Amino acid sequence: MSMIWDVVIVGGGPAGLSAAIYAPRAGLSALLVEEAVPGGQLLEAPAIENYPGFTESIPGVELAERMRAQAERLGAQFQAARATGLAQRNGEWVLATSAGEVRARAVIVATGARPKELPARGAKERVGRGVSYCAVCDGYFFRGKDVLVVGAGDGGLTEALVLSHLCSKVYLVVRHPQSDPHAIRAKEALRDQALSQPNVEVLWNVVVDEVRGEGKVEEVVLQDLATAEKRSVPVDGVFVKIGWKPNTDWLRGGLDLTEGGYVRTDSLMRTDRAGLFAAGDVRDPTGRRAQAVVAAAEGALAALSAEGYTRSL
């Protein structure tokens, strides 16, 4: 495309789609570049019950389609392409993509992050059918059931605490022995709060070897790291919190990232590079929650900041 866009949005999750709604409403020409079908992690949610404005649950796919339709109605355009690099040239931003270069006055990075997958047989095939990477999103569907949480950091203990108020039994898998003072890496206050719940049980020095079930999760196979023995535990759900990986490989070398690869911004979604903004799960996760409504709000802020920037040129 030979034109210079006011703003190019990279990533089509809730942050990018929200930015694509707000930017044209502010009078900006806006292009959203997304390699896959727009929607991001919304596409993996069978039902969403905590997004404002919906009295009944809505499939994540439908919510994403509505957001895209709204953005298109307001004037945003979409391009299916993979971002491969970003640079400044003659006072403009030049986004390199698998479909060619795109020029813009401002860029909003909203490429999100993906959870690190549980390295166990059968886990990937059962995502959305009992395997989940978000207790706040999916815990409601496991009310009164038995679940297992994988992860001994802040994320895992937060998941266990959330689920303890919903589920009958919460098993917490820890891959280190109880005698290891660093077995649970979560903050002490969070650890004490979660482990004090009467329905939370820690399974020490084990890993999940396999997730089983006909059409949905029915049991997990745990392997003892000391003896190599395996045993089955019947559960209805498996919640995984073993870390995230931001989708920023295409930005390395062109932007100051955190050690974990996240984008640093201020409260208005501005990076340390003029005209470059970021929103959603691609941002430094310190102090924020990975929720669709949070990402959407950040996308709106990024678009408004981009408007202010382009008006000042």
Q: Which of 138, 167, 236, 281 is catalytic?
A: 138
Residue 35 structure tokens: 């390699």
Q: Which residue has the tokens 């941002």?
A: 283
CA separation (Å) from 267 to 26, 78, 100, 297, 298? 20, 27, 32, 12, 9
Q: Which of 137, 167, 236, 281 is catalytic?
A: 137
Angle, in degrees to the nearest 10, between helices 14-25 and 292-311: 40
User: Mind spelling out the 3-state secondary structure of 283-302?
Assistant: ECCCCCCCCHHHHHHHHHHH
For this structure, is 137 an active site residue? Answer: yes
With contact defined as beta carbons under 8 Å apart, do 149 and 170 qualify? yes
**E-strand stretches of the chain:** 4-10, 30-34, 77-80, 83-89, 92-97, 100-109, 113-115, 131-132, 146-150, 169-174, 200-204, 206-212, 219-224, 230-234, 237-240, 244-246, 276-278
Residue 287 structure tokens: 């102090």
In whole angstroms, what is the distance from residue 242 CA to residue 132 CA?
12
CA separation (Å) from 22 to 67, 72, 282? 11, 11, 19
For this structure, is 167 an active site residue? Answer: no
Residue 202 structure tokens: 């820690």
CB atoms within 10 A of CB 312: 8
Q: CB-based burial of residue 212 (10 Å sphere; 0-12 exposed, 13-18 middle, 19+ buried)? A: middle
Give me the active site residues, please. 134, 137-138
